[in-house]
Amino acid sequence: MVVGVPPVARPAPASEVPVKRAVRQRRSPDATTPAEPRPTAPGTAPTPGDPARESAAPAGGTAEGAAPAGGAPDTAEASVLPELEDRAWMHHATEFAHTTFWAVARRLPRLAREAVALAWATSRRDTAASIGLNVAAGVMTTLGLLATTGVLRELFAAGPTPDRIRAALPALALAAAAVTAKGALTIAAGWAQARLTPQINYQVELRLFEATTAVDLAAFDDAGFAEEMDRARERGVTEAAFVVDHTVNLITGVVGVLATAAAVTVIQPLLLPCLLLAAVPEAATAVKTARRQYLEMLARFNRRRRMWMLANLMANRHTAAEIRAYQMRDFLLGEYRKMMATETRAHLRLVRVQTRTRVLGTATAGLATFGVYAVLAGLLLAGMVALAAAATALIALQSARSSLGVAVFATNSLYEDALYYQDYRDFLDRAVGRTAAGGDRPTGGFDVIELDRVSLRYPDTDRPAVDEVSLAVRRGQVVALVGENGSGKTTLAKLIAGLYRPTGGTIRWDGVDAAELDPRQAGAQVAVLTQEWWKFPFTAGQNIRVGRHDRPAGHRGPSVEDAARAAAAHDMIVGLPFGYDTLLDREFKDGHDLSGGQWQRLVAARGLYRDAPLLICDEPSAALDARAEHSLFQHLRRRPDRAVVLITHRLANVRHADQIFVLERGRLVQQGTHDELVAADGLYRELFHLQASGYVADTEGVAPPP
């Protein structure tokens, strides 16, 4: 028997929305990927159409017993839109769907131990309370059934009715107390479990982000590492709390079954087989129905993701303008209607199949119940079971059915979720190996940074991005890196900044190998203005202040306003609705957004506020207007105590650089001042004259400004 149980009533994991794509959209003004909606918060209603959260409405597929979609190709599948897959979300789904129930059961002890260990490490008190109170509730179930037998025995005894009622009162009081205690214990156990869940979520998320922020930058260029991180973040983190929840539910279900069985055994051991005979068929039917539902969910998953993407496109601020500009409304609605029609047909097929399965299961359970009644009748006629015991057995039958159902579903859910939680644990183990220990040699700055035959090769590439480059960056100099796209300028700048460690050669700070330096102290000497800057959803002031958020009191560096003025951003900021306190995210109330050029001024102010001895400027003025660009470069040339590494395709901005290094295909092919390189025959001269010819042609006959 193959088992697959879909998750039931759980909050939306981050992977159900391609969050990484949504977040990257906010990185720069050139990004075009539409923002996806935020994941649903725990406790909110499931989003209609969410395949991972729908427990009762999966659609079509080719699962056992399900009718195929038909001979004609699916109109939605024939759409011109590309297939959307999320390997992180579905990585283990097929494996789980084809795992037998008994294989799952064999792994249960180890899974339960790991889940309890996770919960225990998070909160011993709440873990002990959750498990202990559920066990105590099971004991109350046993006492309640035994007390019920005593009540029925007295009521069925011979004698006047008032006497029988009086005789039953002690047992009745005990039964009432047991029921009340069980209810109170169950509520208390739920309270402890509810306290435990957010604590687990916090701990596993914190451990993940501690790992992701500590690994080397190069790890993010490794496709294998990126996929492992996606699986850990998008589902592994989410499933951790569910692993614990399902373990507690499994314990609760098993305790309930054992409590009922214990009561029945005390009353009459011969009734125990009857209890199992009645409970097992219903549990088997539930498992079969869940398996079919899960397999069909797999079959339709990609179509649902595509449909979901369309829904997001049609209700998204970031895509609204383009949809209207290209008049895409009818096209998108048409695609959505086609897929919705396919989903509706598939859902109706599933309903028919599930109804047949449930009818068969109900009939089987009815026959089993009839068999139990027949056995009880035979035992009663033979005088082997008292009438009160038989009546109690019927009550125990209902309790056992419920507890067994809880245990079966918890078993399936625990097994699947544990696979994804294992991905999370594996990622943490691997992340340790991707975190460079660094040295412990202190540094308070530098006079010269030397690169000696430095190379860097990205993972899974044949050609080095930087190939045996040797150069020196001296404090007080402006150094420019020039070359065509893909020549290795940005990679070389990241090597100089210490963001990458070379795969060949050596980088030295004042003669000391950079690998021996304390990484935190060395990093404090560097500020980077990247070309792929980030739109932090903070206030304007905070966006600048994060450049040196840990600045100690009394530091002589520039103020936030000083940095903003140097980057030509101050006037723009004070013109915002709340000045430096304006929240720069329009998705929040009273939030405001900036243009690409305004954002770049703010990012430049962030780097200048850091006030580091080494400033890396990678295309710092790509989105700036001419006036803001002039102001920024004037400021960069004004600091003799700082080394500036400048990357720009606007060669007019590097004319005054002390040294210009020209790169081609990762190799250093020229170096010198502007005048020296223009006088020489080489790549720099060619690129400079290409740009200069355009300016000369555009300005012929135009008088200079007064």
pLDDT of 705 higher than 90: no
Rounded distance between C-alpha atoms, residue 98 and residue 111, angstroms: 19
Q: 442 pLDDT band (50/70/90 cuts)?
A: confident
Model confidence over 145-186: pLDDT tens digits? Answer: 888 878 877 777 777 778 778 888 888 898 899 899 989 999
pTM (two decimals):
0.66
The CATH code of the domain at 448-536+613-694 is 3.40.50.300
d(CA 643, CA 480): 11
Nearest 10 degrees: Cα torsion 192, 194, 198, 203 = 40
| Buried residues in 305-317 as b, exposed as e (16+ CB within 10 A) | bbbbbbbbbbebe
Token digits of residue 181: 């205690």
Q: Compute CA distances 377 → 364, 368, 389, whole Å.
A: 20, 14, 12
| Choice between 317 and 488, residue whose per-residue pLDDT is larger | 488
Say what the pLDDT of residue 297 is. Answer: 63
CA distance linking residue 416 with residue 103, whole number of Å: 12
Of 79-83, 214-218, 241-245, 621-625, where does mean pLDDT reach its minimum? 79-83
pLDDT interval class at 35 (50, 70, 90) = very low
- Whether residue 667 is predicted with pLDDT greater than 90 in this model: the reply is yes
Mean pLDDT of 502-518: 91
DSSP-assigned letters across all residues of 580-604: GG-B--TTSTT-----HHHHHHHHH
Provide the pLDDT for residue 34.
33
pLDDT beyond 70 at 105: no
pLDDT band at 1 (very low <50, low <70, confident <90, very high): very low
Among 56-70, 169-183, 297-311, which stretch is predicted with the lowest mean pLDDT?
56-70
Give the per-residue pLDDT at 673: 92
Asked if residue 301 has pLDDT above 70, the reply is no
Mean pLDDT of the chain: 77
Q: How far apart are alpha carbons 419 and 249 in whole angstroms? A: 18
Q: What's the rounded Cα separation, in Å, for the pair 7 and 15?
A: 14
In terms of average pLDDT, the best of 361-375, 624-638, 664-678 is 664-678
Where does the pLDDT of residue 268 fall: very low under 50, low under 70, confident under 90, or very high at 90 and above? Answer: confident
Give the start-to-end residue ranges of the domains of the chain: 108-268+407-435, 274-384, 448-536+613-694
**More confidently predicted of 553 and 266:** 266
The residue among 97 and 216 whose pLDDT is bigger is 216
Rounded to whole angstroms, the Cα distance separating 67 from 92 reads 25
Reported as a pLDDT band with limits 50, 70 and 90, residue 437 is low
**Per-residue pLDDT, 448:** 93
What pLDDT is attached to residue 87? 53
Angle between helices 237-267 and 101-122 (to 10 degrees): 110
Residues 197 and 244: beta-carbon distance below 8 Å: yes
- Helix (H), strand (E) at residue 471: strand 466-474
Q: What is the pLDDT of residue 84?
A: 44
Model confidence over 549-578: pLDDT tens digits? 877 665 667 889 999 998 889 999 999 999
DSSP string across 402-444: HHHHHHHHHHHHHHHHHHHHHHHHHHHHHHHHTS-----B---
The tens digit of pLDDT for each residue in 270-296 reads 777 777 776 677 666 666 666 666 666
Q: What is the pLDDT of residue 554?
A: 59
Q: Alpha-carbon distance 571 to 566, whole Å?
A: 11
DSSP 8-state secondary structure symbol assigned to residue 531: S
305-360, pLDDT tens digit by residue? 678 888 888 988 778 888 888 888 998 899 889 888 888 888 788 788 778 877 88
pLDDT at 293: 65
